[in-house]
A and B are shown apart, each in its own frame.
Chain A
Amino acid sequence: MTWTQAAFGRITLGLTALGFVILLAIGVGLVWMVQETRGYASAVVATQQIRVTTAEVFSSLQDAETGQRGYLLTGDAAYLEPYRQAEAQLDSELERLATQVAADGGNIPVQEELRWRIEAKLAELRQTIELAESGDMPGATALMRDGRGKTLMDDVRQVLNGIEQRTAARQERRSASMDRAGRILLLVAASGLVLIALVSLGTLRVAMLYTRELESAQAALRGSNAGLEQRVAARTTSLMAANEEIQRFAYIVSHDLRAPLVNVMGFTQELETAIEAVRGLVQRAGTEAPSLVTQEVRDAVEEDIPEAIGFIRSSTNRMDRLIGAILALSREGRRRLAEEPVAVQGLLEGIAASLQHQLDRAGAEITLQPPFPTLRTDRLALEQILGNLLDNATKYLDPARPGRILLRARREAGLNAIDVVDNGRGIAARDHARVFELFRRSGPQDQPGEGIGLAHTRALARRMGGDIRLTSTLGVGSTFTLLLPDALPAPDPAPASQTEELPA
Chain B
Amino acid sequence: MNVSAQAVTIVMIEDDDGHARLIEKNLKRAGVYNDVLHLNSGTAAVEHLFGPGRQGGAPVLVLLDLNLPDMSGIDILARLKADPVLRLAPVIVLTTTDDDREIRRCYELGCSVYITKPVNYETFAQAVRQLGLFLAVIQVPPTAP
Residues in chain A within 8 A of chain B (CB atoms): 255, 258-263, 265-267, 269-270, 273, 320, 324, 327, 331, 499-500, 502-504
Complex interface: chain B residues within 8 A of A320 (CB)? 118
B19 x A262 contact (CB < 8 A)? yes
**Distance, CA A320 to CA B117, complexed state (A):** 10
A266 touches which one: B18, B74, B97 (CB < 8 A)?
B18
B97 touches A263 (CB 8 A): no
Q: Which of B32-40, B49-57, B65-73, B84-92 lies at the binding interface?
A: B65-73
Q: Do the beta carbons of B117 and A262 come within 8 Å of each other?
A: yes
A502 to B99, CA, bound (A): 11
Measured in the bound complex, the distance between the Cα atoms of B16 and A499 in whole Å is 25
- B118–A259 CB distance below 8 A: no
Known A-B contacts A255-B67, A504-B74; A266 and B19 likewise in contact (beta carbons under 8 Å):
yes
Q: Give Cα A333–Cα B88 distance, bound, in whole angstroms.
A: 38
Task: State how many angstroms separate the Cβ of B12 from the closest Cβ of chain A.
Answer: 14
Q: A266-B118, A504-B74 are in contact. Are A255 and B16 (CB under 8 A)?
A: no
Q: How large is the interface on B (under 10, 10 to 19, 20 to 34, 35 or more residues)?
A: 20 to 34
A97 to B25 alpha-carbon distance, docked (Å): 158
Q: From residue A263, how far is it (CB to closest CB) to chain B in Å?
A: 4
5 A-B pairs with the lowest CB-CB distances in the bound complex, closest first: A263-B18, A504-B66, A266-B22, A258-B96, A262-B117
Chain A residue contacts of B83, Cβ below 8 A: none
A504 and B97 contact, CB distance less than 8 A: yes
Contacts of A267 in B (CB 8 A): 18, 22
Number of residue pairs A-B, CB distance < 8 angstroms: 54
Query: Is B47 an interface residue when CB atoms closer than 8 A count as contact?
Result: no
Known: A320-B118, A504-B95. A263 touches B16 (CB 8 A): yes
B99 near A503: Cβ-Cβ < 8 Å: no
Could you say which of A255, A265, A503 contacts B118, with CB atoms under 8 Å apart? A265
Bound together, the chains give a CA A324 to CA B118 distance in angstroms of 11
Cβ-closest chain A residue relative to B23: A266
**Cα–Cα, bound, A260→B118 (Å):** 10
Listed A/B pairs (10) with beta-carbon separation below 8 Å: A258-B96, A259-B67, A263-B18, A266-B118, A267-B18, A267-B22, A503-B72, A504-B67, A504-B97, A504-B102
Task: Using CB atoms, name the residue of chain A closest to B16.
Answer: A259
B67: contacting residue among A324, A327, A499, A503, CB under 8 A: A503
Query: Roughly how many angstroms separate A500 CA and B98 CA in the complex, as a whole number?
Result: 14
Q: How far is the CA of A504 from the CA of B74 in the complex (A)?
A: 8
Is the beta-carbon distance between B118 and A327 smaller than 8 angstroms? no
Q: Say how far B95's CB is from chain A's closest CB, in angstroms.
A: 6
B136 to chain A, nearest CB (A): 28
With a CB–CB cut-off of 8 A, which chain B residues contact A258? 96, 117
B18 contact set on A, CB distance < 8 A: 260, 262-263, 266-267
Chain B hits for A260, CB < 8 A: 18
Q: Which residue of B lies closest to A328 (CB)?
A: B98
Chain A contact residues: over half helix, strand or loop, or mixed?
helix
Interface residues of B (CB under 8 A from A): 16, 18-19, 22, 25, 29, 66-67, 72-74, 95-99, 101-102, 117-119
Q: Which listed residue, A259, A261, A331, touches B99 by the CB 8 Å rule?
A: A331
Contact A263 B67 (CB under 8 A): no
Contacts of A263 in B (CB 8 A): 16, 18-19, 22
- Asked whether, in the complex, the Cβ of A499 is within 8 Å of the Cβ of B118, the reply is no
Please measure, in the bound complex, the distance between the C-alpha atom of A504 and the C-alpha atom of B42, giving whole angstroms.
Answer: 14
Residue of B29, B102, B117, B119 contacting most chain A CB atoms (<10 Å): B117
A258 to chain B minimum Cβ distance, whole angstroms, is 4
> Could you list 20 further interchain pairs (A-B, Cβ under 8 angstroms) beyond the known A259-B16, A262-B119?
A255-B67, A259-B67, A259-B96, A259-B117, A262-B22, A262-B96, A263-B18, A265-B118, A266-B19, A267-B18, A269-B22, A270-B22, A273-B29, A320-B118, A499-B101, A500-B101, A502-B99, A503-B72, A504-B66, A504-B72
Considering the complex, give the chain A residue whose CB is closest to the CB of B98. A327
Docked Cα-Cα span, A502 to B95, in Å, equals 14
Measured between beta carbons, the chain A residues less than 8 angstroms from B118 are: 261-262, 265-266, 320
Per the bound structure, the CA–CA distance linking A324 and B97 in Å amounts to 10
Contacts of A324 in B (CB 8 A): 98
Q: State the Cβ distance, A362 to closest chain B Cβ, in Å.
A: 33
- Minimum CB–CB distance from B85 to chain A (whole Å) comes to 25
Query: A265 — which chain B residues lie within 8 A by C-beta?
Result: 118
User: What is the bound-complex CA distance between A258 and B119, given in angstroms?
Assistant: 12
A281 vs B98: C-alpha distance in the bound complex, in angstroms? 41
Give the Cβ gap from B125 to chain A, nearest Cβ, in Å. Answer: 14
Q: How far is the CB of B75 from chain A (nearest CB, A)?
A: 10
- Docked CA distance A331–B98 (Å): 10
CB of A270 within 8 A of CB of B16, answer no
Return the chain A residue nearest B17 by Cβ. Answer: A263
